A and B are shown apart, each in its own frame.
Chain A
Amino acid sequence: MDYEKTTILLMRAQQGDRLAREELYRRLLPRLERFARGRVPISMRNVTDTQEIVQETMVRSLDRLEGFLPRGEGAFLQYLSKIVVNRIRDIARRGGRQKALGTEEIYESRREPSPVELAVGAEIFEKFQEALATLKDDQREAVFLHVEMGYSGEELAEALERNPEAARKVLFRGLQNVAARMKLEAP
């Protein structure tokens, strides 16, 4: 199949095109798995669990595309990543309950960090997420795709449907704004 833009595939999948659905699954699954592995706490690091979480998210999301506005690959991956993060939290909470740690609050205070949280500290990672949320849509998608999904410049241009130079500018602006917001919050 020739490379077809994710937006087009999303629209086709929404109209019930099974091939488009399969192609989206094939194309985005490895990206989302990579993302999930960065977010799964070390204690839950079992590849089957992570794969299951991601595959389940993809299958269910692709089954319920009606309400989704197909704005682009970045937006769709962000949407999927949120579901994955919620699902990981949900499973971790259930694990916490199984260990009879008691309330969710107690669990939250004891929960183990994910690899990305270990890399920068949970609090700083949270601030990065907050800063990311304040960006304009295209900048947010660019920073998210590059930093969290590992998109190269070329892949970013493809995903943002812009030429490489324009995509790079959007990423630059997004990074500058993240830095500015995080600078403001620095002690």
Chain B
Amino acid sequence: MSETSRSDRYYALFTESREVDWRRLAGDDPECRREIEVLGMLDRIRAAYRATGDGDATRTVAWDGSAPRPAARPDDGPPVPPCVRGYRILGIVGQGGFATIYRAEDEKTGREVALKVLKPGLDLSSDITARFLREARALARLENPNIVRIYHVIDENGKLGLSMELIAGETLEQVLKKAGRLEPRAAARIGADLAAALDVVHEAGFIHRDIKCENVMREKGGRIVLMDFGISRSIDPTTRVTATGVLVGTPVAMAPEQYEFQEADRRTDVYSLGCLLYRLLAGRHAITGDTVGEIRSRVLEADYPPLEELRPDVPADLAAIVKRAMRREPKRRYESARDMRDALRGWLHRECGEGEAPPPRRQPFPTAVVVLLGAILAVLAGILAMLIRQAMGD
């Protein structure tokens, strides 16, 4: 075969994206060696984009003389249970792209736990590992009945994970699937509990950033538990948009400032909690759309139907709480999750006689009062000065 036709064959192999051992090929054909090496190099670049673009961090991108190894994917079958010291694996609760959650028994206490173990082979930098451990340990210190309890942080022979409270119940997503929508009182109770949980999270210096029905569990006894604090999100490069740009979930609960690339703060979570409450009450997302672009425009224009239009039986003051939480400008929302919790508890107390009325908020002096007090003081000072002058004249 002539050099040109051999060379063409190599280009054809490359463009057909065949799995080729370029190193061996280069060794077999010294005359075209440099050309083959360049194609091998381009193939590695192409593979690196493909691996990262598919969110497939376990796929090898190194040119080690072999074809890329097929990656272990979540749908390849059940993962091999890990051996984590002190725990006996009982079964799989669920799995995502980067972690598997097992039902396990803590051998020391006999307690059943949810064991979340990051999948082996993740290409995590030391920075990301350190952040995962730091955040997990900080969250393990949080104590609130509405926050999933983290018992133990696992960092053992390259295995990273958490042992957490095993919640027997269903997500709010599942609750809505069955019920369609919730009664105002039930929704307000959930909102108040979540706002209380968020307040604790915020006070510890975290922003959840992903408040949605899938991340909230309702235990059989009715306890509401906030899950998933983003420690896995910080390492999970799966996208929220499918290959065709179609929405798959979270963008509908993202706050305008997230779409405008501004810093998220506690009011960002307040907005998402407002979206969650809207959904519980209306039985649908406030903002919908087929593409992220469409949703983004609607979020930025606060273009969604008023809750009272979809659900006229929702009391106006409860609808007003939701509306305030979902305001476009963060400064016009509740300043904190605690303020929102108080508003919801206040409503439950007034409307349903539940719980105690939240303590009245300290109101700053209205400007008019300050001006009036100033004027009175000025007049008094004038009178006093006049009296002193008179007394001295006498």
A89 within 8 Å of B (CB atoms)? no
Which of A4-12, A72-80, A101-109, A168-176 lies at the interface with chain B? A168-176
B128 within 8 Å of A (CB atoms)? yes
A183 within 8 Å of B (CB atoms)? yes
Q: How far is the CB of A41 from chain B (nearest CB, A)?
A: 9
A179 to B35, CA, bound (A): 6
Subset of 14 A-B contacts with CB under 8 Å: A22-B291, A22-B294, A25-B293, A29-B241, A37-B237, A38-B52, A46-B234, A47-B233, A47-B239, A55-B259, A128-B41, A146-B15, A178-B42, A182-B34
A173 to B53, CA, bound (A): 26
Extra contacts, 17 of them, besides A27-B245, A38-B52 (Cβ < 8 A), are A26-B244, A26-B293, A29-B241, A29-B293, A37-B55, A47-B237, A51-B240, A51-B241, A56-B261, A115-B51, A120-B41, A120-B63, A128-B41, A147-B45, A150-B50, A179-B35, A183-B35
Q: Which residue of chain A has the shortest Cβ distance to B35 in the bound complex?
A: A179
Contact A119:B62 (CB < 8 A) given known A42-B123, A148-B49: yes
Interface string of B185-212 (1 = CB under 8 A from A): 0000000000000000000000001000
Q: Which residue of chain B has the shortest Cβ distance to A117 in the bound complex?
A: B48
Interface pair A45/B244, CB less than 8 Å apart: no
Interface pair B41/A124, CB less than 8 Å apart: yes
Interface pair A182/B61, CB less than 8 Å apart: no
A153 within 8 Å of B (CB atoms)? yes
Q: Which of A17-31 contact B (CB under 8 A)?
A: 21-22, 25-27, 29-30
Using Cβ atoms and an 8 Å threshold, which residues of chain A touch B41? 120, 124, 128, 182
Residue from B127, B237, B293 within 8 A of A50 (CB atoms): B237
A35 to B331, CA, bound (A): 36
A43 within 8 Å of B (CB atoms)? yes
Using Cβ atoms and an 8 Å threshold, which residues of chain A touch B125? 42-43, 45, 112
Name the residue in B240, B245, B296 with the highest tally of chain A Cβ atoms < 10 Å from its Cβ.
Answer: B245
A186 within 8 Å of B (CB atoms)? yes
Q: How far is the CB of B122 from chain A (nearest CB, A)?
A: 11
Interface pair A119/B44, CB less than 8 Å apart: yes
Interface pair B240/A120, CB less than 8 Å apart: no
A125 within 8 Å of B (CB atoms)? yes
Q: How far is the CB of B212 from chain A (nearest CB, A)?
A: 15
Interface pair B241/A171, CB less than 8 Å apart: no
A98 within 8 Å of B (CB atoms)? no
A166 within 8 Å of B (CB atoms)? no
Interface pair B47/A179, CB less than 8 Å apart: no
Using Cβ atoms and an 8 Å threshold, which residues of chain A touch B53? 33-35, 37-38, 150
Secondary structure type dominating chain B contacts = helix
Interface pair A29/B292, CB less than 8 Å apart: yes
Interface pair B234/A25, CB less than 8 Å apart: no
Interface pair B291/A179, CB less than 8 Å apart: no
B14 within 8 Å of A (CB atoms)? yes
B11 within 8 Å of A (CB atoms)? yes
B238 within 8 Å of A (CB atoms)? yes
Interface string of A125-166 (1 = CB under 8 A from B): 100100000000000000000111110010000000000000
A69 within 8 Å of B (CB atoms)? no
Q: Which residue of chain B has the shortest Cβ distance to A182 in the bound complex?
A: B38
Instruction: Write the residues of chain B forming the contact surface with A, with a CB cutoff of 8 angstroms.
Output: 7-8, 11, 14-15, 34-35, 38-39, 41-42, 44-53, 55, 61-63, 123, 125, 127-128, 209, 233-234, 236-245, 259, 261, 291-294, 296
Contact A179:B34 (CB < 8 A) given known A37-B53, A47-B239, A51-B239: yes
Interface pair B61/A115, CB less than 8 Å apart: yes
Q: Which residue of chain A has the shortest Cβ distance to B52 in the bound complex?
A: A37
Q: How far is the CB of A182 from chain B (nearest CB, A)?
A: 5
A153 to B18, CA, bound (A): 13
Using Cβ atoms and an 8 Å threshold, which residues of chain A touch B209? 48
A52 within 8 Å of B (CB atoms)? yes
A122 within 8 Å of B (CB atoms)? no
A35 to B293, CA, bound (A): 19
Using Cβ atoms and an 8 Å threshold, which residues of chain A touch B242? 30
Q: Which residue of chain B has the shortest Cβ distance to A62 in the bound complex?
A: B293
A25 to B236, CA, bound (A): 24
Interface pair A52/B38, CB less than 8 Å apart: no
Q: Which residue of chain B has the shortest Cβ distance to A26 in the bound complex?
A: B245
Closest 4 interchain pairs by CB? Answer: A34-B53, A119-B48, A26-B245, A38-B49
Using Cβ atoms and an 8 Å threshold, which residues of chain A touch B61? 115, 118-119
A65 within 8 Å of B (CB atoms)? no
Using Cβ atoms and an 8 Å threshold, which residues of chain B touch A34? 49, 52-53
Q: Which residue of chain A has the shortest Cβ distance to B53 in the bound complex?
A: A34
Using Cβ atoms and an 8 Å threshold, which residues of chain B touch A85? none
Interface pair B15/A153, CB less than 8 Å apart: yes
A169 to B123, CA, bound (A): 37
Q: How far is the CB of B238 from chain A (nearest CB, A)?
A: 7
